[in-house]
Amino acid sequence: MRFIFMVAASVALAGCVDQSALDAAEAKAEALQGQASEQIKEIASLKDQLAAAKSEQDALRLEIQELSQTPSALLAGVNKAVGKRDLVGAQRVLKALREKYPAAAESASAVKAVESLAKSVERERLEAERLAALGFKALAVGATVDAGPVKVTIGTPSVARTFVFDRYDGSYHYREADRGNQYVRVSMSATAAKGESDPDLPGVALYRTEGDRLRRVNQFSIEFSRWQDYGTYLGNYSDYRNDFAKTATIQFSLGAEVPAEVLKQKPLYLVATRKGCHSRGGAQFRNPPVYYSGSCGALQSSLSINDFAGDEAKVTIVRRMN
């Protein structure tokens, strides 16, 4: 009996403790919920403040942009676009300038700049159409190449079984083409600019047409055309006529071995680099001991019309063989 009473008392006591803890937990939960609600309101208020600040910032940015669009600033924008050859961009800024300041002197200047660019773009478009219609035949051919430190003039090409060079007295040296091949031969006169004692020479290569491209056949080797005598050819003493440090102009002979069937595929083109790529070298036991050689990357295996267009073109046509 006493045992049953003790169990009952324990159960009653446990029930009281559980109810008290539950009440405390509920109170704590209500307090946390209240804090969370306040924080949510605070976050919403901060978001509103941020949105207002951003709106004010955007308005200030637009105001600054509007104030910065002075006639001189807009004219500078036009000139910048013209410098980049951006006709659409230049016209867009010009429109804004004329709408805001139609009577400003800057408007007149901007109109002239944009009109000049428009005419230039139109000329380029017409030239591109002409080149597309005529192909490489439309390209100008100039026998002289001004490569800065040196200016070269390419002679009229000829075809033969032998390539002759290094003449002296009544003698000369030559290379004979393999069976079925021929040499395309051409003279080159090179004149160094004042103060230039060792300029690089432009490279020259022979090309044939292949659809809308030029395909390289062979590059020309560069040899001295003539020596004073056998002694200078051997290098026993100097021939000042073949030294840019002593003379302004030197004569060279160029030759390229070509399959005979290629020579029938007219027209053929002699293409030169617009910068020097053959350097002067020397070898003690070579005859003659001085020579020109190099690698001319601009003379690519295949060239398009665009490779010859503009002031930045790296190559130019110097002779056409019809």
Provide the pLDDT confidence category of residue 27 given band limits of 50, 70 and 90: confident
pLDDT score at 271: 97
Provide the pLDDT confidence category of residue 211 given band limits of 50, 70 and 90: confident
Q: Establish if 299 belongs to a structural domain.
A: yes
pLDDT per position as a tens digit, 244-262: 999 999 999 999 999 999 9
> CA–CA separation, 193 vs 148, rounded Å?
8
Indicate if 159 and 123 belong to the same structural domain.
no
pLDDT score at 314: 95
pLDDT score at 321: 94
Q: Is the pLDDT of residue 152 over 60?
A: yes
Q: Establish if 55 belongs to a structural domain.
A: no
Indicate if 76 and 145 belong to the same structural domain.
no
Provide the pLDDT confidence category of residue 301 given band limits of 50, 70 and 90: very high
- The total number of structural domains in the chain stands at 2
pLDDT score at 290: 96
3-state secondary structure of 163: strand
Q: Establish if 125 belongs to a structural domain.
A: yes
209-221: average pLDDT: 94
Domain final residue, candidates 108, 132, 156: 132
Indicate if 143 and 246 belong to the same structural domain.
yes
Q: Is the pLDDT of residue 193 over 90?
A: yes
Helices (H), strands (E): how many in the chain?
5, 14
Indicate if 155 and 286 belong to the same structural domain.
yes
> CA–CA separation, 183 vs 258, rounded Å?
6
Indicate if 107 and 204 belong to the same structural domain.
no
Indicate if 211 and 110 belong to the same structural domain.
no
Provide the pLDDT confidence category of residue 131 given band limits of 50, 70 and 90: low
pLDDT score at 62: 63
Q: Establish if 89 belongs to a structural domain.
A: yes
> CA–CA separation, 274 vs 318, rounded Å?
11
Sequence-separated (6 or more) residues with CB below 8 Å from residue 115: none
Q: Is the pLDDT of residue 202 over 90?
A: yes
Indicate if 86 and 194 belong to the same structural domain.
no
pLDDT score at 13: 47
Burial class, 303, CB count within 10 angstroms (exposed 0-12 / middle 13-18 / buried 19+): buried
Using only the alpha carbons of the chain, give its radius of gyration: 42
Q: Is the pLDDT of residue 269 over 70?
A: yes
Indicate if 124 and 273 belong to the same structural domain.
no
Q: Establish if 20 belongs to a structural domain.
A: no
Indicate if 259 and 241 belong to the same structural domain.
yes
Indicate if 176 and 292 belong to the same structural domain.
yes
Q: Look up the domain containing 231 and give its range.
A: 139-321
pLDDT per position as a tens digit, 56-74: 777 667 655 655 678 888 8
pLDDT score at 12: 46
Domain final residue, candidates 116, 132, 148: 132
Distances (CA, A) of 40 to 21, 31, 37, 49, 213: 28, 14, 5, 14, 71
Indicate if 107 and 243 belong to the same structural domain.
no
Q: Establish if 57 belongs to a structural domain.
A: no
pLDDT score at 51: 81
Prediction pTM value: 0.62
Q: Establish if 253 belongs to a structural domain.
A: yes
Indicate if 181 and 124 belong to the same structural domain.
no
Q: What is the DSSP letter of 262?
A: G
Please tell me the number of Cα atoms within 13 Å of 90 on its side-chain side.
22
Q: Establish if 49 belongs to a structural domain.
A: no
Output the average pLDDT for the chain.
88
175: closest CA among 163, 159, 167, 186?
163
Domain final residue, candidates 132, 160, 177: 132
3-state secondary structure of 97: helix
